[in-house]
């Protein structure tokens, strides 16, 4: 396997990790095989603003930003200082901190459908909590869903069924090993924005569906009509509509996709961007949906942790005071324009489009078998030029016009290499192993 001397330390550490950490990394997407393995860095030592430094000492401009969790910018000094002050006052008390009530009030003020709030420390955990509340509130067991909702049993149980689109496992390449077989049929996937599939499933499982879980926005503009129809169906069938805004949430608006599009769910799951890099998750929702949780056992020691609470309060205040909504639109639109200019300039068959908070690069090549190699070559060439990026990009408030310009120049050079590779032998240009998807988001 090829190893660029530039990332020698990263790859050596990764090799050790593969012996002592099952799965190699904690987040599947952080595996070396998700990028240009052997060329992309795997371990970082520090991060600031729009950049990070890897353990070999190389600096990269970052377009992944901790999978969306970094929204203001890496190591934001205002959030970090608030956290440091809080550490000095106590990171976790024996009794409660009133920060949890303060944050709940801020969430209720900013998120249209929020009337009650519970916390967790991460997104998947918050999804599991929402699933528990939905089942408890409705007294029903089955959950319909599209999109990705974490690693917990309630959701991975879907992998006992076939993907309605491909016929394979909904989470490709991941068998439901370790998930109780008795959960088969309890989480049922449907295709993103396929309302007739939802209707059929609701009729097929009459009076059994507790909740409909969706990511209300993925990489495209959300479809308002679809979301309204989902809400009406949820009402008709007495189930709870859950928006998982863990990934799509707050770049589009601090009130979330629901505020942007004007359709409210019964419950919303939040994590990642709400705390700019400190562990935090939340479930917010209507009193009707959440009040029955008073009688459910939902409890964990570190959910009262003050660090996540203060980080969230400070992050939200920063996003609001910095007009983040307009700023993300400006950054995203400028990035889309710049990359498309590079595409045009080089004359490569590609497009860079989608919602401005999460645009995606797609190479338009006839031979679909080459798609993953071409994506890897792009990641490899960008990485060589000091830009850490997958093919879907998200920004932070610290990304500047200069960062975008640098990215555009590197993209143009990378496109030139790809053009040559496609004319000749791509393997001559591809130093890295072809990237692998750690998993596919269940029914995109």
Ligand X SMILES: Cc1ncc(COP(=O)(O)O)c(C=O)c1O
Site for ligand X, rule CB under 6 A:
67, 122-124, 127, 147-150, 215, 244, 246-247, 271
CB of 401 to ligand X, least distance (A): 28
Q: For ligand X, give the closer residue by CB, 10 or 247.
A: 247
CA–CA separation, 380 and 374 (whole Å)? 10
- Kindly state the smallest distance separating residue 29's Cβ from ligand X, in Å: 8
CB of 24 to ligand X, least distance (A): 16
Q: Minimum CB separation from ligand X for residue 93, in Å?
A: 24
3 state SS for the chain = CCCCHHHHHHHHHHHHHHHHCCCCCCCHHHCHHHCCECCCCCCEEEEEECEEEECCCCEEEECCCHHHCCCCCECCHHHHHHHHHHHHHCCCCCCCCCHHHHHHHHHHHHCCCCCEEEEECCHHHHHHHHHHHHHHHHCCCEEEECCCCCCCHHHHHHHHCCCCCCCCCCCCCCCCCCCCHHHCCCEEECCCCCHHHHHHHHHHCCCCEEEEEECCCCCCCCCHHHHHHHHHHHHHCCCEEEEECCCCHHHHCCCCHHHHHCCCCCEEEECHHHCCCCCCEEEEECHHHHHHHHHCCCCCHHHHCHHHHHHHHHHHHHHHHCCHHHHHHHHHHHHHHHHHHHHHHHCCCEEEECCCCCCEEEECCCCHHHHHHHHHHHHHHHHHCCEECCCECCCCCCCCHHHHHHHHHHHHHHHHHHHHHHHCCHHHHCCCECCCCCCCCCCC
Q: Which of 67/226 has CB closer to ligand X? A: 67
CB of 293 to ligand X, least distance (A): 19
CA-to-CA separations, 396 to 166, 278, 324, in angstroms, rounded: 34, 15, 9
Q: How far is the CB of 107 from ligand X (least distance, A)?
A: 17
CA distance 238 to 258: 20
Cβ of residue 65: shortest distance to ligand X, in angstroms? 12
CB of residue 127 to ligand X, shortest distance in Å: 5
The residue among 70 and 418 lying less far from ligand X, judged by its C-beta, is 70
CA 301 to chain centre: 25
Cβ 25 to ligand X shortest distance, Å = 12
Name 240's bridge partners.
211
Query: In this complex, which beta carbon is closest to ligand X, that of residue 134 or of residue 422?
Result: 134
Pick between residue 436 and residue 441 the one whose CB is nearest to ligand X. Answer: 441
Give min distance, CB of 279 to ligand X, in A: 9
Nearest residue (CB) to ligand X, 269 versus 410: 269
Which residue has the closest beta carbon to ligand X? Answer: 123
Return the closest-CA partner of residue 343 out of 289, 280, 411: 411
Q: Strand pairing partners for 433?
A: 37
Q: For residues 163 and 244, which CB has a smaller minimum distance to ligand X in the complex? A: 244
Considering beta carbons, is residue 128 or 430 the nearer one to ligand X? 128
| In the complex, minimum distance from the CB of residue 348 to ligand X, in angstroms, rounded to a whole number | 30
Cβ closer to ligand X: 73 or 273?
273
Which residue number, 210 or 374, has a Cβ lying nearer to ligand X?
210
- The residues pairing with 352 across neighbouring beta strands, listed in sequence order, are 361
Residue 54 or 244: the one with the smaller Cβ distance to ligand X is 244
- The first and second tokens of residue 339, run together, are 């990359």
What gap in Å lies between CA 117 and CA 104, rounded to an integer?
6
């Amino acid at each position: 396997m090829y190893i660029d001397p530039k990332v020698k330390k990263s790859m050596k550490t990764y090799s050790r990790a593969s012996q002592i950490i099952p799965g190699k990394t904690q987040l599947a997407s952080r595996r070396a095989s998700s990028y240009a393995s052997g060329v992309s860095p795997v371990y970082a030592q520090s991060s600031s603003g729009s950049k990070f430094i890897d353990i070999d000492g190389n600096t990269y401009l970052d377009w992944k930003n901790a999978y969306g969790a970094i929204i203001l910018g890496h190591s934001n000094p205002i959030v970090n200082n608030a956290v440091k002050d809080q550490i000095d006052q106590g990171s976790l008390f024996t009794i409660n901190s009133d920060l949890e009530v303060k944050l709940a009030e801020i969430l209720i003020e900013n998120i249209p459908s929020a009337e009650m709030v519970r916390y967790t420390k991460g997104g998947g955990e918050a999804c599991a909590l929402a699933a528990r509340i939905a089942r408890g509130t409705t007294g029903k067991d089955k959950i319909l869903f599209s999109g990705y909702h974490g690693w917990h049993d309630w959701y991975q149980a879907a992998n006992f069924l076939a993907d309605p689109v491909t016929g394979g496992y909904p989470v490709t390449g991941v068998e439901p090993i370790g998930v109780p077989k008795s959960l088969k049929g309890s989480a049922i996937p449907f295709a993103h924005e396929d309302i007739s599939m939802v209707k059929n499933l609701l009729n097929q499982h009459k009076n059994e569906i507790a909740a409909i879980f969706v990511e209300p926005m993925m990489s495209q503009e959300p479809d308002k009509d679809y979301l309204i129809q989902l809400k009406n169906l949820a009402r008709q069938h007495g189930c709870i509509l859950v928006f998982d805004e863990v990934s799509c949430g707050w770049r589009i608006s601090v009130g979330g996709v629901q505020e942007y599009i004007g359709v409210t769910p019964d419950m919303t799951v939040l994590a990642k961007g709400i705390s700019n890099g400190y562990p935090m998750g939340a479930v917010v929702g209507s009193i009707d949906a959440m009040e029955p949780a008073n009688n459910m056992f939902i409890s964990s020691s570190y959910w009262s942790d003050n660090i996540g609470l203060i980080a969230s309060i400070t992050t939200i205040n920063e996003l609001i005071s910095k007009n983040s909504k307009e700023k993300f639109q400006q950054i995203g639109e400028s990035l889309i324009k710049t990359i498309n200019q590079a595409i045009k300039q080089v004359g490569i068959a590609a497009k860079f489009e989608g919602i401005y908070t999460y645009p995606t690069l797609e190479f338009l090549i006839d031979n679909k078998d080459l798609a993953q190699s071409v994506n890897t070559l792009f990641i490899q060439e960008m990485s060589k030029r000091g830009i850490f990026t997958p093919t879907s990009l998200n920004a932070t408030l610290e990304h500047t016009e200069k960062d975008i310009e640098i990215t555009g120049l590197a993209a143009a050079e990378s496109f030139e290499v790809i053009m040559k590779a496609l004319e000749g032998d791509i393997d001559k240009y591809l130093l890295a192993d072809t990237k692998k998807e750690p998993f596919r988001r269940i029914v995109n």
